[in-house]
Structure 1
């Protein structure tokens, strides 16, 4: 029903793409995270961590606007942007674009970003990953984003070797 109302009026291939990988799926996933924040989920479960793909599913890029909801959402312990900064981790989901990385680093810092692919939609080759990680400002951030953040978040055993 929502898909028809919001995404129809094009050919079937464009409608499908617009509703899914091209826009709609990302807006809905970002909205779901925002609804968790506004319902006080993270106040009731302060240690809860949510992972959002594709650089935060649009929410990262609208977080300043979404933070204005802090002025009307009564009963929250913190501002909306603070929940996003503390309780939400974001992945690259194959979108290894330095411009997006700089924006994310400016808001969340390297501790909340995880390198990830988006198989089968984005197949990352080693050269692309190396080039992307090389755009990070330092080896500590490369180490965190490449694998240390995922190890910590998912309680994985440490990887051997030097930081990337």
Structure 2
């Protein structure tokens, strides 16, 4: 069966409705604003290209995460840049958070940025409250592997955050 040509309106609605998925991934996998915009566009392009082949045997968000994460990792590998963290100056969009909450969130994202590419993806999905089954499906691994990796990732994040706290003046 030949894939059908994607409907531009449906695709635009899909991206608009789920753009937070793409933004979170670009925030974790890029160095700055320009890189985020470039990666956002690349992810949208890859989603557009693979949209006709979406079989609906998984949730649309699971498919989007898989395409977006694969695109981010491939782009970084292709550009051979080591991902690093840029302070989140534009994170003021969240109105209900206190300054302390914002600082803790920034500390968390800073620690996440120091993880390897796969660990970043797994913890990002876990923070999005995806089930172990969904994370396994997106990452192409087993539920047990996700469980083991999450324990290790949480320990590593705790260690990174503790070391950051100790280094503060």
TM-score interval, smaller chain: 0.3 to 0.5
Q: TM-score, length-normalised on structure 2?
A: 0.33
Using CA pairs below 8 Å that are at least 6 residues apart, which structure has the higher relative contact order?
2
The structure where strand makes up a greater share of residues is 1
The structure where helix makes up a greater share of residues is 2
